[in-house]
C-alpha cells in the first residue's frame, strides 16, 4: 500500500463536473503484419491479462482516508475485473477520420470511476475509410488519470504492452495474483493518526486547502507583475465545457529539420513551436480575433537531478514562452522563438546536467516558471482572472522504434490532453517512427471547428516548409584543417558541448517508414 503524493492528490481535488484530469493515448495499427493478418479482441484481452503484473497501476485503486485525515492510498482492487477496463467498440460506417476523432473525444471527456483502477483501454474497430491501411485496421485508446501517471510514465504503460518485432513471443502465462486485504476504516484512521508526517499534514490541511483556492490567483498576480502587464485574453481563456474536441496533423521529422534551417542555430523544437504559433495566429485571424499584442504558452521541460541516480524520475518544470503571434513574417517569428529558447536558463541547466529533454521548450529566466505537476491546480481559477498563458504546448514522448501489438504494427501515436478553465487549448506534440504529430485539444464551445484549426496548423507548416525550400542554398564550405576544426593547441579535438535532445528530434526515420494513412492526420 503506497500513498498518493500531495501533487498527485491535487489532480483529484482539481476535478469538476466539466473538467477532469484524463490523459488519453491513441495508437492506430496495421494488422496485415500480424500472424493471421488480423487481430481479434480476445487475443488483445489475453495479451493485456498476461502483462498486468508489469505495472502496479493496472490493479491498484484509490482508498481515501476517513475524515480527510491524510492523502489517499493506492490499494489493490479485490474485485478487479479486466473486462471492465478493456472494451471493444466499432465506428459506424463509413468509419472515417472525423468519426474517429469525435468518438475519441467523447471517450476522453467521460470521467473515470474513482472506485476502480484509474485506466481504461478501448479497442476501436471499423476504421474502414482510412486509406493506405488495410481492412480490419483498428485503434487503441488508453485513458489514464493524471493522478496515476504523468506523460512520461504513461508511455511506459504503452510500451509494456508492445513488442519490438512483428513475431510476438509465446504468451506469458498469467502470474498468480492474490490481492492484499483492504484495510478497514479504523486501520486507515489509526495509520493517519500515528504517522507523524501525516499528523503534521492534518494540522496544516486547512492552510493547504486555502492555498489550493488562492494559489491560482496568487500565481496570476505574480505573472502579471513579472510581465508588467496583463496578458491578452482569447476565446481559449474562458470557462471550458464538459465536451471535448481533438484533431491531429502528421508531419515528417526530416521536413521539420528543413524548417529549422531558416534561422541559424534554431532547433527542431523551435520549428515545432513556430508551427503551433502560426496555426494559432491563423485561426484567430480567420475569425477576426487576433490580438495586437503577443500571445503566450506554458510548456514543460524534464530535468533529472544528476545526483539522484540514473533510474530516478525526472522533474517537470513548466515555463512560459511568448509565441510571436504578433509577428506576421514566419521566419521572423521563428527567430523570435529561437532567441527565447537559446537564452533560457532552464535549457542551460538541462544541458549542464547532460540530460536529454523530451520537448525542451523554454523561456528566459525572467519569466514565470512553475515546477512539478502542480500546473493543473495552478490553473484553477484562471478563468476568474488573467490566465497564466493563452495555451499550453506539451509533449508525450513516443517510442523511438516501431512497435507491434501481437504482430500488428503501430502506425500512429498521439494524445488527448486535459484542459482547464482559463486554459482551454493544449497542443500535444508526439513523435513516432520518423514523424511528428501535433494534436490540439479544446472544448466544443471554444473550438467548434477542430478540422479548421488543424488545417491552420497544416497551413502554417506548409508556409514554413515552402520558405525553407525557396531559400538559396548555402555554399558548401571547404573541409577545415585539424588546426581549424576545433582542435586544441595540443592537437586534440576540443570536446563538443552536449545538446539537449527533444521528442521532436528523438526518433530517426526507420527504413521504409510508417505506412501513411489518409486519416486527415497526415
For 287-333, the pLDDT digits (tens) are 999 999 999 999 877 655 555 555 455 566 778 999 999 999 999 99
pLDDT of 279 higher than 90: yes
Query: Which one has a higher pLDDT value, 69 or 449?
Result: 449
pLDDT of 432 higher than 90: yes
pLDDT of 495 higher than 80: no
> pLDDT tier at 449 (50, 70, 90 boundaries)?
very high
Q: What is the pLDDT of residue 168?
A: 81
Strands (E) located in 336-375: 369-371
For 241-259, the pLDDT digits (tens) are 999 999 999 999 999 999 9
> pLDDT tier at 150 (50, 70, 90 boundaries)?
low
pLDDT of 95 higher than 70: yes
Q: What is the pLDDT of residue 195?
A: 63
Q: Is-contact 300 394, C-beta < 8 A?
A: yes
The rounded distance, in Å, linking the Cα atoms of 467 and 263 is 11
The rounded distance, in Å, linking the Cα atoms of 237 and 300 is 19
The cell for 484 is: 581549424
> pLDDT tier at 200 (50, 70, 90 boundaries)?
low
What is the average pLDDT across 146-168? 79
Q: Is-contact 501 356, C-beta < 8 A?
A: yes
From the CA atom positions of the chain, what is the Rg in Å? 24
Other residues' Cβ atoms within 10 Å of the Cβ of residue 208: 15
Q: What is the pLDDT of residue 276?
A: 98
Q: Structure pTM?
A: 0.79
Q: What is the pLDDT of residue 70?
A: 80
67-76, 80-89, 356-365 — most confident range: 80-89
For 470-491, the pLDDT digits (tens) are 987 665 555 554 444 343 333 3
Please tell me the least confidently modeled range out of 25-39, 90-104, 129-143.
129-143
Amino acid at each position: 500500500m503506497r500513498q498518493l503524493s500531495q501533487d498527485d492528490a491535487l489532480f483529484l481535488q482539481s476535478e469538476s463536473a466539466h473538467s477532469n484530469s484524463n490523459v488519453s493515448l491513441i495508437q492506430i495499427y496495421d494488422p496485415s503484419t500480424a500472424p493471421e493478418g488480423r487481430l481479434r479482441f480476445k487475443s488483445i484481452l489475453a495479451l493485456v491479462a498476461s502483462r498486468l503484473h508489469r505495472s502496479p497501476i493496472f490493479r491498484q485503486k484509490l482508498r481515501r482516508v476517513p475524515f480527510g485525515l491524510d492523502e489517499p492510498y493506492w490499494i489493490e482492487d479485490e474485485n478487479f475485473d479486466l473486462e471492465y477496463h478493456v472494451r471493444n467498440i466499432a465506428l459506424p460506417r463509413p468509419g472515417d477520420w472525423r468519426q474517429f476523432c469525435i468518438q475519441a473525444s467523447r471517450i476522453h471527456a467521460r470521467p473515470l470511476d474513482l472506485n476502480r483502477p484509474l485506466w481504461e483501454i478501448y479497442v476501436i474497430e471499423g476504421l474502414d475509410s482510412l486509406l493506405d491501411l488495410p481492412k480490419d485496421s483498428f485503434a487503441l485508446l488508453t485513458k489514464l488519470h493524471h493522478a496515476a501517471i504523468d506523460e512520461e510514465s504513461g508511455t511506459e504503460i504503452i510500451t509494456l504492452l508492445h513488442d519490438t518485432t512483428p513475431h510476438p513471443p509465446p504468451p506469458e502465462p498469467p502470474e498468480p495474483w492474490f490481492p492484499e486485504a483492504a484495510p478497514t476504516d479504523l486501520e486507515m484512521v489509526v495509520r493517519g493518526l500515528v504517522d507523524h508526517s501525516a499528523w503534521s499534514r492534518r494540522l496544516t490541511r486547512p492552510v493547504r486547502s486555502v492555498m489550493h483556492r488562492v494559489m491560482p490567483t496568487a500565481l496570476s498576480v505574480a505573472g502579471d507583475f513579472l510581465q508588467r502587464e496583463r496578458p491578452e485574453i482569447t476565446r481559449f481563456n474562458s470557462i471550458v465545457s464538459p465536451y471535448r474536441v481533438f484533431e491531429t496533423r502528421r508531419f515528417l521529422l526530416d521536413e521539420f529539420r528543413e524548417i529549422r534551417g531558416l534561422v541559424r542555430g534554431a532547433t527542431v523544437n523551435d520549428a515545432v513551436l513556430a508551427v503551433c504559433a502560426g496555426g494559432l495566429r491563423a485561426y484567430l485571424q480567420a475569425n477576426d480575433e487576433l490580438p495586437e499584442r503577443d500571445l503566450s504558452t506554458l510548456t514543460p521541460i524534464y530535468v533529472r537531478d544528476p545526483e539522484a541516480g540514473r533510474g530516478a524520475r525526472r522533474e517537470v518544470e513548466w515555463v512560459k514562452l511568448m509565441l510571436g503571434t504578433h509577428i506576421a513574417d514566419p521566419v521572423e517569428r521563428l527567430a523570435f522563438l529561437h532567441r527565447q529558447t537559446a537564452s533560457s536558463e532552464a535549457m542551460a541547466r538541462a544541458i549542464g546536467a547532460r540530460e536529454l529533454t523530451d520537448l525542451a521548450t523554454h523561456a528566459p529566466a525572467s519569466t514565470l516558471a512553475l515546477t512539478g505537476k502542480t500546473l493543473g491546480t495552478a490553473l484553477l481559477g484562471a478563468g476568474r482572472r488573467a490566465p497564466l498563458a493563452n495555451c499550453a504546448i506539451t509533449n508525450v514522448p513516443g517510442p523511438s522504434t516501431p512497435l507491434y501489438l501481437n504482430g500488428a504494427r503501430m502506425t500512429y501515436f498521439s494524445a488527448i490532453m486535459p484542459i482547464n478553465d482559463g486554459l482551454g487549448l493544449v497542443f500535444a506534440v508526439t513523435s513516432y517512427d520518423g514523424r511528428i504529430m501535433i494534436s490540439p485539444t479544446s472544448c466544443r464551445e471554444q473550438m467548434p471547428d477542430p478540422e479548421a484549426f488543424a488545417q491552420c496548423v497544416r497551413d502554417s507548416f506548409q508556409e514554413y516548409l515552402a520558405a525553407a525550400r525557396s531559400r538559396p542554398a548555402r555554399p558548401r564550405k571547404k573541409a577545415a584543417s585539424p588546426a581549424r576544426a576545433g582542435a586544441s593547441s595540443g592537437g586534440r579535438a576540443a570536446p563538443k558541448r552536449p545538446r539537449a535532445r527533444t521528442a521532436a528530434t528523438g526518433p530517426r526515420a526507420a527504413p521504409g517508414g510508417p505506412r501513411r494513412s489518409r486519416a486527415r492526420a497526415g
